Amino acid sequence: MQATAYDEMSTADGAVRPHYAKFADWLASQPAETLERKREEADLVFHRLGITFAVYGEAEGTERLIPFDQIPRILHAAEWAMLATGLRQRVRALNAFLGDIYHDQEILKAGHIPALQVLQNVQYRPEMQGLDVPGGIYAHIAGVDLVRAGEGEFYVLEDNLRVPSGVSYMLENRRMMMRLFPDLFESHNIAPVEHYPDTLLEVLRTVAPVGISNPTVALLTPGAYNSAYFEHAFLAQQMGVELVEGQDLFVADEQVFMRTTQGPQRVDVIYRRLDDDFLDPLAFRQDSMLGVPGLLSVYRAGRITLANAIGTGVADDKSIYPYVPEMVRFYLGEEPILNNVPTWMLRKPDDLAYALDHLNELVVKEVHGSGGYGMLVGPAATKQEIEDFRKRIVAAPDKYIAQPTLSLSTCPIFVDSGIAPRHIDLRPFVLSGREIRIVPGGLTRVALREGSLVVNSSQGGGTKDTWVLEN
């Protein structure tokens, strides 16, 4: 682990980086009371608009805000151009991989990935085998988590290809910044992000089943008690599509319909924010009350498009992650632009031996875990925790991977005592339809506790507006 992390705003000797210069001047000119007042205003507006996380949580009727920090995370044009090119390349390769895995499995035959790693993966869905999806696109919406370790040095932490969330915060953070500090948007040339819902709708329409000229799109939510319900309602409203629950949909004549006050209306594309397991009680989990009985059969008949497709989890699983650079080379014949974090696969004896020797400096993750659970952060763990984790690893090494502890970059945030650096990551949203579209920037998440590397909102992370400066 590096002694000091790379800071987005300042260099190690304290000089402001050129692309932050104008903002730093502005910040220095703002009286503390003004910033405090703006912070209160932001809280008030977020509360009133009901922009919340964990809607309807444990305590009945209470809703929690995700903390919003006013100092933007700024990327300059050249840096973003590199990231965007890398993201396109990576998502193209991932979609190619999914198409291959669910058809001829060339990459397995060529021996680049052990077949068992894929075919015995719980995220692999045999139901998808041989099925053609419109445009060959599986992951229409990808939320790729990136971290920076140094100048121009970005790593992909995770490719979220199932139901990635957070884009509503990206949009609301921007709206809030424009409301609080309009002068900043006059003095900076900031790439807009407001067209995301429009672009998403366009992408969803272009992947409708063949022969549908004016497709009806609906957003499928698990319901008002889901922690991301705010985002589901927000996106549906912004796109002008119906926000449906499983009970609103039914299957008849090999088609999916929604129940409306004017009778059944056919649906062609479902942007589903519901995991594979819950989609169709006839095909997957039988106890699911959230899905639509018979949906899979319509899907297999090619008469409904699901975005994302079923079975994309096999490509963003941590046990498959180490092979993504190989996918880029295999399918695209290119060298990967974005780095993978070096990963030890503990099912391999050599990797296991290395990891067990270096547990105090590694991050160990469960292959199928997510959200920061089931994870050991070596440098931050006690001896006892390390020994406990060691036993779990030895008992089932194939359930774990290990990675070096990355030094995530920091960005200044407002804290009680003034301004201090905190670790951040970046989740850009990559949309794949007829072409790949990326709204500049993404969601910047920030760990609010000093020194913490955990940015997940379920574990006390906050967010920032993300600026991509145009030349």
Partner 1 sequence: MLSRTADHLYWMSRYTERAENLARMLDVTQRMSLLHGGQVDIAGWTAALTIAGCDASYRKMHDKVTPGGVLRHLTFDTENSASIVRCLKAARENAHAVRGTLTSELWETINDTWLRVRESSPSVVDGNNAGDFFEWVKYRSHLSRGVTIGTMLQDEALWFPRLGTYLERADSTARILDVKFHALLPEGSDPDNAGDYYQWSTLLRSASAFEIYRRVYRDRITPRRVAELFILRRDMPRSLHHCLDEVQNLLARIANRHSEETERRVGLLNSSLHYGRIEDIFAEGLHEFLTDFLTRAADLSARIANDFLVPQH
Binding site for partner 1 (CB under 8 A): 48-50, 56, 61, 224, 233-234, 236-237, 242-245, 247-248, 258-263
Nearest to 446 by CA among 416, 469, 426, 420: 426
Residue whose CB is less far from partner 1, 95 or 216: 216
Distance in Å, CB of 355 to partner 1, minimum? 48
In the complex, least distance from residue 224 CB atom to partner 1, rounded to whole angstroms: 5
Strands 436-438 and 429-432 come out as antiparallel
Residue 446 contacts residue 462 (beta carbons within 8 Å): yes
Nearer to partner 1 by Cβ, of 233 and 386: the residue is: 233
Using the minimum distance from each CB to partner 1, give the nearer residue, 52 or 160: 52
Which residue's CB is nearer to partner 1, number 244 or number 359? 244
* CA distance to 140, 142, 432, 434, 440, per residue, from 206 (Å): 11, 17, 10, 7, 21
Measured in degrees and rounded to the nearest 5, phi and psi for residue 289 equal -95, 0
Q: Min. distance of Cβ 51 from partner 1 in angstroms? A: 12
Closest residue by Cα to residue 345 from 392, 400, 391: 400
Minimal distance, residue 200 CB to partner 1, in Å:
17
What does each C-alpha distance from 68 to 38, 203, 209, 452 come to in angstroms? 12, 29, 40, 17
Q: Tokens at residue 79, please? A: 């840096």
Rounded to a whole number of angstroms, the minimum distance from the CB of residue 165 to partner 1 is 17
In the bound state with partner 1, the residue whose beta carbon lies nearer, of 11 and 237, is 237
- Which residue, 152 or 240, has its beta carbon nearer to partner 1? 240
Dihedral sign (CA 330, 336, 338, 342): positive
Cβ of residue 259: shortest distance to partner 1, in angstroms? 4
Residue number, 101 or 241, with CB nearest to partner 1: 241
Cβ atoms 257, 208 nearer than 8 A? no
Closest CA to 19 of 189, 192, 194, 145: 189
CB of 240 to partner 1, least distance (A): 11
244 vs 411, beta carbon nearer partner 1: 244
Kindly state the smallest distance separating residue 175's Cβ from partner 1, in Å.
15
Name 421's Cβ contacts closer than 8 Å, sequence gap at least 6.
Answer: 5, 7, 410, 411, 412, 413
Position 378, amino acid: G
